[in-house]
Amino acid sequence: MEIREYHSNDEVGWLRCRALSFLHTAYYDNVLREKEHYKNPSIELIAIEDGIVVGLLDIEYEKEELTVCSRGSGLGGMIWHVAVHPDYQRMGIGNKLLYEAEKIAKQKGLNRLEAWTRDDQWVQNWYEKNGFNKVDSYLHVFMDGEQELKGYVQSSFPKLYPVQAFAHYVGEEKEALKKQFKRVHECVCYEKMLK
């Protein structure tokens, strides 16, 4: 297996790897049609095996404090994407990508990494096993259908009827809100200090 920098001609493989790896997670419907381009500098790595992209890790990093990350002091990097193709999971590919990314991040002068993920316990366990600490959370709330939208989302435009909505909830009534809607995910912030 080779770990190397992402190049633009890797885009289709990157997209396939990400879509397949997210399929059985709380992010199953977060499908991208093209790879994101970052406003700030980035570390973009892929793992190649058998000629295909089997893993990926993207970190956008700061040149000025708090321009990418949501917390902390000093320069940080935000892990926007980390994924391993389902046929290649449990082979240490994610760990190898993270190890390489951390080496590069330290060379760039970053003192920490930040990552946000939903409530898949196995994903949270991976972050914790790799030295990340849970530092914050809020809720992702999906509202679907008239019953769930009623009283929360409405249109002021004539004959426009919302059928779905997505919202962030940052308040303290998390448990009450979880009972109100069918699909609610805790979005958790993990942070790792780089030594």
* Domain-wise residue ranges, the chain: 2-134, 139-183
- What is the band of 195 on the pLDDT scale with cuts at 50, 70, 90? confident
Q: What homologous superfamily does CATH list for 2-134? A: Gcn5-related N-acetyltransferase (GNAT) (3.40.630.30)
- What is the band of 42 on the pLDDT scale with cuts at 50, 70, 90? very high
H helix count then E strand count, the chain? 5, 8
- 67-103, pLDDT tens digit by residue? 999 988 999 999 999 999 999 999 999 999 999 999 9
Per-residue DSSP letter, 68: S
The pLDDT, as a whole number, for residue 72 is 86
- 119-171, pLDDT tens digit by residue? 999 999 999 999 999 999 999 999 999 999 998 998 999 999 999 999 999 99
The span from the CA of 110 to the CA of 108, in Å, is: 6
Which are the contacts of 187, defined by CB distance < 8 A and separation ≥ 6? 116, 117, 118, 119, 137, 138, 139, 140, 168
